[in-house]
Amino acid sequence: GAVVSQHPSRVICKSGTSVKIECRSLDFQATTMFWYRQFPKQSLMLMATSNEGSKATYEQGVEKDKFLINHASLTLSTLTVTSAHPEDSSFYICSASDSHYEQYFGPGTRLTVT
Amino acid sequence: AQSVTQLDSQVPVFEEAPVELRCNYSSSVSVYLFWYVQYPNQGLQLLLKYLSGSTLVKGINGFEAEFNKSQTSFHLRKPSVHISDTAEYFCAVRASYDKVIFGPGTSLSVIP
C-alpha cells in the first residue's frame, strides 16, 4: 500500500527559531499534498494544500508567511514553521494524494516550542 | 463546501457490548466517506471507506459502516467492542480531487 513518511517524528525547538518538517510519499507520486494541524483533544484542521511546482493554497486564518510550504517534487513537501512560538506547539500531519478519492496520511510530527 | 457532524463527543461502552458512532455530513456534490481511528499520541489509521457501490462497508478490526444517502449519514458500528478499541474516531468526507474534511471526533471509551 501507499506509504507516507514524516520527519522528524518529534521536535523541540526554542521560541523564535524555525523548524522544517518533511513529508514524503515513498512508493507513489503525489500530485497533491495537504498539511493539517491537530491541537490536543481536537480534530484535524487543514492548513494548506499544495500541488507540485505551484504555490500552496492556505486556508483562511493560516499565516502563509509563518507556515512556509514547499512542494518541490512529486514525492516531497516541506512545512517550515518560522519564528516559532509556544502557541505553535501542535501535532502536524501531512497527507498525499495521487487520485481523486484517496489520501494517505503520514504518522505526524509532534512540535514543542519552549 | 462540505461539513461533517459527529453527534457524540464521547461514547462510553462496556466491553463486548455493541457500539454505534454517528456521523452526518452535508455536501452539494457527491463525496467519498471515510472513518479513521487515532490512538493516543499516534497518527491516523484508516478503518474503512465508502467510494461507491454497496452501501454497507466492512473495514478492519471488525468495524462496518452504512452509507445512507437520503439521511446523509455514515454511521460506524461494531457488534462487540474490546478494550483495545478505546481511541478517538474521526469521520471524514472528500469531494473528488478536493481536501479531506474531518468531523470533530468521537472519543470511544471501552469499560472493562
Q: pLDDT means per 10 residues in chain A (114 residues)?
A: 93 97 94 93 93 90 95 92 96 90 91 97
- A62 chain-B contacts, CB cut-off 8 A: none
* Cα–Cα distance measured from residue B108 to residue A4, given in angstroms and rounded to the nearest whole number: 27
Q: Three-state SS for B5?
A: strand
* B67-to-A9, A53, A109, B46, B91 alpha-carbon distances in Å: 35, 37, 32, 16, 12
* Cα–Cα distance measured from residue B57 to residue B65, given in angstroms and rounded to the nearest whole number: 5
Is the minimum CB–CB distance between B7 and chain A shorter than 8 Å?
Answer: no
Lowest mean pLDDT among A98-107, B64-73, B84-93: A98-107
- Residue B87: predicted pLDDT: 97
- Of all helices (H) and strands (E), which one includes residue A68? strand A67-73
Measured from the Cβ of residue A13, the count of other Cβ atoms closer than 10 Å reads 16
- Residue B9: predicted pLDDT: 96
Most B-contacting residue of A101, A110, A111 (CB-CB within 10 A), to test interface: A101
* Cα–Cα distance measured from residue A84 to residue A79, given in angstroms and rounded to the nearest whole number: 12
Residues 40-99 of A with CB under 8 A from B: 42-46, 49, 93, 95
* Cα–Cα distance measured from residue A37 to residue A104, given in angstroms and rounded to the nearest whole number: 16
> What is the C-alpha R_g of chain B?
13
* Cα–Cα distance measured from residue A19 to residue A9, given in angstroms and rounded to the nearest whole number: 12
Q: Of A46, A93, A105, which has the smallest distance from its Cβ to B99's Cβ? A: A46
Q: How many residues are given for chain A?
A: 114
- B90 chain-A contacts, CB cut-off 8 A: 43-44
- A49 chain-B contacts, CB cut-off 8 A: 99
Share of residues in chain B with pLDDT > 90 (%): 84
Query: Is the previous residue joined to B18 through a cis bond, with omega within 30 degrees of 0?
Result: no
Q: Which of B78, B109, B112, B85 is closest to B12 using CA atoms?
A: B109
- Residue B28: predicted pLDDT: 87
Is the minimum CB–CB distance between B39 and chain A shorter than 8 Å?
Answer: no
- Cell readout for B3 is 461539513
Q: Of B32, B103, B105, which has the smallest distance from its Cβ to A101's Cβ? A: B32
Characterize the bridge pairing of strands B106-111 and B10-14: parallel
Q: Of B43, B46, B100, which has the smallest distance from its Cβ to A107's Cβ? A: B43
Q: Which residues pair with A44 in a beta bridge?
A: A38
Q: Which residues pair with A33 in a beta bridge?
A: A50, A96
Nearest CA in chain A to B103: A43
For residue A69, the 8-state DSSP code is E
Share of residues in chain B with pLDDT > 70 (%): 100
